[in-house]
């Protein structure tokens, strides 16, 4: 059971409060190379907030982050990217008024020998990546604003996988996708996993993640209820963790576990 390798990511005792709301309360979570960890919980449980601390969007009030066993300083999204952390945000966070290629390369543009933007090269690469992800995608010249929700989501996903991420955070990545594209993202996750990339897959819907995840971590009211390897628990047991905070025998309880009910 015990994994002796160094975890790719260890977040320990992370807390953050917005005004009076303790959005994340002493949450700990870890991730190993080539592992998919499903982060589950009802709406407002604190999933997005927890991973936004890892991606540099929020600054934590307390707790520590270690990457590859070493203390990491993450104060902004640039720091996180420097550690190879790529994020697909729930609210997508695409720049609406520039095109798909510009979005894919935003902050990491391809430049020519004299330092100017090489738009043709970026568009060409964008066509290649988008072709793999969503072969129906044609609207490369349009600002992203003009795209459908699913197309925008494809752009956000393509951007995250374009730059050799080591740690990938996917916050509800398939919320706007059709069945075909969702299946494609599933395939993509398996492929990235086999490349040794660690993935946090976030959802409030257990069916999205159970088959893809190696492990699930359940959050409730900002706290971690418990974690379990998917092979040790059933979907119904995980559902019990999400809804009631009840930790089944196959799972490890966290600070948020409903102790009276065990």
Partner 1 sequence: MADQHAIPTNIHPSRFAQNPLQRFLMATELDTRLLGMIGALAIIWIGFNIFSGGLFLTPRNLWNLSVQTASVAVMVTGMVLVIVTRNIDLSVGSILGVVGMVMGVMQTDILPSQLGLGLGHPMIWVLSLAAGLVVGVGIGALQGTIIAYLRVPAFIVTLGGYLVWRGAAWWVTMGRTVAPMDPTFQLMGGGPAGSVGSLWSWIVAVIACAAILIGLYWGRRQRRRFNFPLRPIWAEIALAIIGCGLVIGAVLVANAYPWPVRIAARYAEANGIPVPESGLFISHGIAIPVLIALGVGVVMTFIATRTRFGRYVFAMGGNPEAAELAGINTRWVTVKIFMLMGALCAIAAAISSARLNAATNALGTLDELYVIAAAVIGGTSLAGGVGTIAGALLGALVMQSLQSGMVLMGLDSPLQSIVVGAVLVFAVWLDTLYRRNKH
Contacts of ligand ATP in 174-213 (CB under 6 A) = 204
Nearest-angstrom CA–CA distance, 183 and 218: 24
Binding mask 77-96 for ligand ATP (x = CB under 6 A): -------------x------
Burial of 185 (0-12, 13-18, 19+ CB in 10 A): buried
Instruction: Please name the residue ranges forming H helices in the chain.
Output: 47-54, 77-82, 100-104, 119-133, 149-161, 179-194, 206-210, 235-244
CB of 43 to ligand ATP, least distance (A): 4
Nearest-angstrom CA–CA distance, 252 and 226: 5
78 near partner 1, judged by CB under 8 A: yes
Q: Which of 34, 63, 77, 255 binds partner 1 (CB under 8 A)?
A: 77
Q: Which of 5, 61, 73, 106 binds partner 1 (CB under 8 A)?
A: 106
Structure tokens at 137: 């995608």
Structure tokens at 72: 């990491």
90 near Mg ion, judged by CB under 5 A: yes
Closest CB to partner 1 among residues 108, 190: 108
87 near partner 1, judged by CB under 8 A: yes
CB of 49 to ligand ATP, least distance (A): 3
Contact of 3 with 49, CB cutoff 8 Å: no
Contacts of ligand ATP in 19-58 (CB under 6 A) = 21, 23, 41, 43-49
**Residues in touch with ligand ATP (CB under 6 A):** 18, 21, 23, 41, 43-49, 90, 204
């Amino acid at each position: 059971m015990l994994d002796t390798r160094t975890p790719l990511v260890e977040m320990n005792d992370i807390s953050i409060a917005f005004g009076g709301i303790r959005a994340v309360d002493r949450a700990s979570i870890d991730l190993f190379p080539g592992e998919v960890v499903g982060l589950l919980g009802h709406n407002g449980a604190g999933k997005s907030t927890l991973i936004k601390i890892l991606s540099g969007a929020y600054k934590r009030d307390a707790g520590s982050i270690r990457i590859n066993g070493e203390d990491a300083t993450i104060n902004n999204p640039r720091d996180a990217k420097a550690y190879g952390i790529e994020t697909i945000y729930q609210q997508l966070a695409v720049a609406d008024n520039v095109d798909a290629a510009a979005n894919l390369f935003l902050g990491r543009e391809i430049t020519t020998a004299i330092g100017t933007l090489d738009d043709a090269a970026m568009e060409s690469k964008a066509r290649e990546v988008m072709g793999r992800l969503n072969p129906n995608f044609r609207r490369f010249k349009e600002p992203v604003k003009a795209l459908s929700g699913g197309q925008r989501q494809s752009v956000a996903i393509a951007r995250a996988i374009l730059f050799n991420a080591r740690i990938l955070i996917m916050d509800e990545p398939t919320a706007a996708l059709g069945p075909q594209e969702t299946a494609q993202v599933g395939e993509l996750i398996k492929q990235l996993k086999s490349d040794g990339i660690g993935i946090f897959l976030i959802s409030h819907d257990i069916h999205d993640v159970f088959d893809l995840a190696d492990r699930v971590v359940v959050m409730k009211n900002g706290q971690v209820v418990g974690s379990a390897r998917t092979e040790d628990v059933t979907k119904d047991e995980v559902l019990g963790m999400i809804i009631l905070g009840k930790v089944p025998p196959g799972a490890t309880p966290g600070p948020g576990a409903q102790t009276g009910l065990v």
